[in-house]
Amino acid sequence: MALKLGLLGLDADATDVYQEMLKDSTAGISDIAQGLHWDEERVRAVLAQLESLNLVRPSWQTPGALRAVEPEVGLVALLSRQEADLREQQEAIDAGRLVVQHLIAEYTQYNRSRQQANVEVLTGLDSIRLRIQKLVLECESEIMALVPGGAQSAANMEASKPQDLTLLDRGVRMRTVYLESVANDSVTVAYARWLTEHGAQVRTAPTLPTRLALYDRKIAVVPVDPEVSSAGALLLHSPGVVNSLCALFEHVWAGSLPLGRRPELSEHGLTTQEQAVLALLARGYADEAVARRLGVSVRTGRRITANLMERLEAGSRFQAGAVAALRGWIDLDTLA
C-alpha cells in the first residue's frame, strides 16, 4: 500500500523512494532507480531530501551507502518535529490574535472617543455659561443665534454688553433672531437696539424652532431638552450636524424681519403672529405650548386664540387651525 506522507512534508518522489528503501533495506541508488524506472540523479536528489528529514542515515555496515530509518523512529520523530512547529505556529497565531484584539480595542476606543468628542454635554448653569464665555472669546468671525423665550433677563443682557462690545470691536459678525413678542418688553428692545447701534444685526420672527447659538460655523450649542432649560446644553462639533443647523438658521433669518419693522398683514388680515398661532393650533398644540412658542404669557396666548376662533366661527382650537388651513389662510409646511 502506498504511503501517504504529504501531511508530514514529503512529496510524492520522497514517499516513493522511502517506500522502496523500506521494502529492501539493502537497496542502493541503482536498485532504487531501477525499481522506480528513474534515472540515478533523480534518486540522489530525493535521498538528499530524505536525509535532511532524518528519514535515511548512513549505513554502519556499508560505508557510503544510505539506509532507511524505521518508520516507528523516523516518521514518529518527523511527526514530533512537525507537532513542535505547529505548536510554535499556534503560539504565534495566539500572540497575533492578542495583538489584533488589542488593536481592535484601541481603535474602538479611539472611534468612541472621536464620536464623544463631537458632542459635549454641559449640565448646570455655571458650566454652561463658563463654556459659552470661552466659545465667545475664541470666536473669530461670526456668531449666529436664535433666542426664543420672549423677554430676556435685564441682568443677563447688561452682563453681556462688555462681551458683545469686545466681539464687535474685533470685527466678529453677530446676527440674532428674537421672537416678535419682545417688542412688548422695553428692556429687551433697548438691548437689541444697543446691539444694532454697535454693528450687530437683529431680527424678529413670530416663532422660533429652538434655542441655538453657532460659533464660526464650527460649533453649535443647543438645549438638551428645548422644553426644559435646566436639562443642560449640548455642544456639537460634527461638521454635518453644524452645517445643517447653519442652514436652519439661514432659513429662519431669511423669513424674519429687521428689529422694529412691523410685519404686513396677510391678504386675510392676519399678522405673522396670528398665522403662527393658527398653524400651532392645527398641529394640536395646547395653550401653554402655544404661549411658550410665542414667548408670551398663557393669558395673552389664550386671548389671541379666542379672537381667532371667533373670526373663524370655530368651536375648538384645533378646528380653528384646521379651518384656517382649509381656507388657505395658513401654509402648514412653512409656518411654526
Strand-pair category, 142-147 with 173-179:
parallel
291 and 235 in a common domain:
no
Evaluate whether residue 279 is within a structural domain: yes
| Domain-ending residue, one of 198, 225, 258 | 258
Q: 176, 292, 320: which is closest to 227 by C-alpha?
A: 292
Evaluate whether residue 94 is within a structural domain: no
pLDDT of 215 > 90? The answer is yes
- Whole-angstrom distance, CA of residue 54 vs CA of residue 77: 8
Longest alpha-carbon distance in the chain: 126
Q: Residue 29 has what pLDDT?
A: 86
Evaluate whether residue 29 is within a structural domain: yes
Q: pLDDT band at 104, cuts 50/70/90?
A: low
Q: 133, 151, 128, 141: which is closest to 172 by C-alpha?
A: 141
Q: pLDDT band at 112, cuts 50/70/90?
A: low
pLDDT of 98 > 70? The answer is yes
Q: pLDDT band at 271, cuts 50/70/90?
A: confident
pLDDT of 114 > 50? The answer is no
Q: 212, 198, 215: which is closest to 162 by C-alpha?
A: 198
Evaluate whether residue 106 is within a structural domain: no
| Domain-ending residue, one of 258, 281, 308 | 258
| Domain-ending residue, one of 31, 46, 69 | 69
* Higher pLDDT, residue 151 or 316: 316
Q: What is 287-315 written as a DSSP string?
A: HHHHHHHHTS-HHHHHHHHHHHHHHHT-S
- Whole-angstrom distance, CA of residue 199 vs CA of residue 127: 29
Measured between alpha carbons, how far apart are the two ends of the chain, in Å? 90
CA atoms within 13 A on the CB side of 225: 6
129 and 51 in a common domain:
no
Strand-pair category, 56-58 with 66-68:
antiparallel
How far, in Å, are 264, 275, 295, 316 from residue 271 at the CA level? 7, 6, 16, 21
Q: Residue 274 has what pLDDT?
A: 82
Evaluate whether residue 165 is within a structural domain: yes
Which of 16-25, 65-74, 141-150 shows the lowest per-residue confidence on average (mean pLDDT)?
65-74
Looking at the chain, the whole-number percentage of residues with pLDDT higher than 70 is 87
163 and 43 in a common domain:
no
- Whole-angstrom distance, CA of residue 123 vs CA of residue 234: 9
Highest mean pLDDT: which of 164-168, 215-219, 279-283? 215-219
Q: pLDDT band at 115, cuts 50/70/90?
A: very low
209 and 247 in a common domain:
yes
Average pLDDT, the chain: 80
- Whole-angstrom distance, CA of residue 19 vs CA of residue 271: 105
Q: Residue 222 has what pLDDT?
A: 87
Evaluate whether residue 79 is within a structural domain: no
pLDDT of 196 > 70? The answer is yes
161 and 250 in a common domain:
yes
Q: Residue 78 has what pLDDT?
A: 73
pLDDT of 45 > 60? The answer is yes
Highest mean pLDDT: which of 15-19, 119-123, 258-262? 15-19
Per the structure, the complete domain to which residue 317 belongs is given by 272-326
239 and 201 in a common domain:
yes
Average pLDDT over residues 171-195: 86
Which of 76-85, 231-240, 265-274, 326-335 shows the lowest per-residue confidence on average (mean pLDDT)?
326-335
Which of 43-57, 142-156, 179-193 shows the lowest per-residue confidence on average (mean pLDDT)?
142-156
299 and 248 in a common domain:
no
**DSSP letter assigned to residue 237:** -
pLDDT of 173 > 90? The answer is yes
Strand partners, 212: 146
238 and 133 in a common domain:
yes
200 and 138 in a common domain:
yes
Helices (H), the chain: 12-23, 29-36, 40-52, 71-117, 125-138, 154-169, 186-197, 239-254, 272-282, 287-294, 298-312, 317-326
199 and 311 in a common domain:
no
For cell 422660533, the residue is 208
281 and 231 in a common domain:
no
- Whole-angstrom distance, CA of residue 129 vs CA of residue 140: 19
Average pLDDT over residues 287-302: 81
Evaluate whether residue 75 is within a structural domain: no
pLDDT of 1 > 50? The answer is no
281 and 242 in a common domain:
no
Q: Is 21 helix (H, G, I), strand (E, B) or coil?
A: helix
Q: How many domains is the chain built from?
A: 3
| Cβ 213 vs Cβ 145: under 8 Å | yes
Evaluate whether residue 267 is within a structural domain: no
Strand partners, 142: 173
Tell me the CATH number at 13.
1.10.10.10
- Whole-angstrom distance, CA of residue 142 vs CA of residue 109: 34
Tell me the CATH number at 188.
3.30.870.10
- Whole-angstrom distance, CA of residue 66 vs CA of residue 246: 87
How far, in Å, are 92, 131, 228, 288, 309 from residue 121 at the CA level? 44, 11, 15, 28, 42
